[in-house]
Structures are given as structure tokens and as C-alpha cells.
Amino acid sequence: MNPTPPTEPPSLEDIVAAGVRRQRDADRLKKSSEDLKELVLAALREGAHRPTEVAKASGWTGAHVRKMAREAGIEPDERYRERAERLKRAQPKEQA
């Protein structure tokens, strides 16, 4: 739903206020993303939940969660290692 356009042009104060709100929201989003990342990585380290369940609960894609896990030094569980290696070998080679 779009707000009704103002009858007067926006003032500089309106623009400054909107800019401050945007920055505040961006900062909160960054903080909440960092908090979620820590929870996801902790859950993967503990192994109490399947990685697919953790990814689904987080709202992030499985690929994004796997990438974060590898960057944090969390390797695939032995149950998934063989499948991960098989999938890796099946990927087409990048052309130079």
C-alpha cells in the first residue's frame, strides 16, 4: 500500500529523518543477521538438528548455510560427506 503523496514537497528535515530511519533499520538488520548466523553455526556445531532443518528454520537457503558453515570450519557430518563428495565430482568443471 503506497502512502498518499504529500501536497507539498518534502522538507530537508523530512529527508534527514527518513535517512536516519533507513540507517537505523539497516543497522538492526545487520545485527539480527549476525545474531541469526551465530545461532545457526552453534546449532550446526552441536549437531542436535539436521542441517536441512536448521537452514529451513533460519529462512536462509541451504547453500548459504553450507557456505557459512564451511567458512566457519564446520565440515559436513560423516553421514553427508560421501554424498557431498559425489555431488562435487558431478558438477561440470568451470571453463577457463
> pLDDT tens, 60-90?
999 999 999 999 999 887 767 777 777 778 8
Angle at 56 between CA 31 and CA 27, to 5 degrees: 10
| pLDDT confidence of residue 37 | 97
Share of the chain above pLDDT 70, in %: 88
| Residue where the block lists cell 551465530 | 38
Look at residue 91 and tell me whether its pLDDT is greater than 90. Answer: no
| pLDDT confidence of residue 65 | 96
pLDDT digits 0-9 by tens, 21-66: 999 999 999 999 999 999 999 999 998 899 999 999 999 999 999 9
Is the distance from CB of 89 to CB of 60 less than 8 angstroms?
Answer: no
Model confidence at 96, pLDDT cuts 50, 70, 90, reads very low
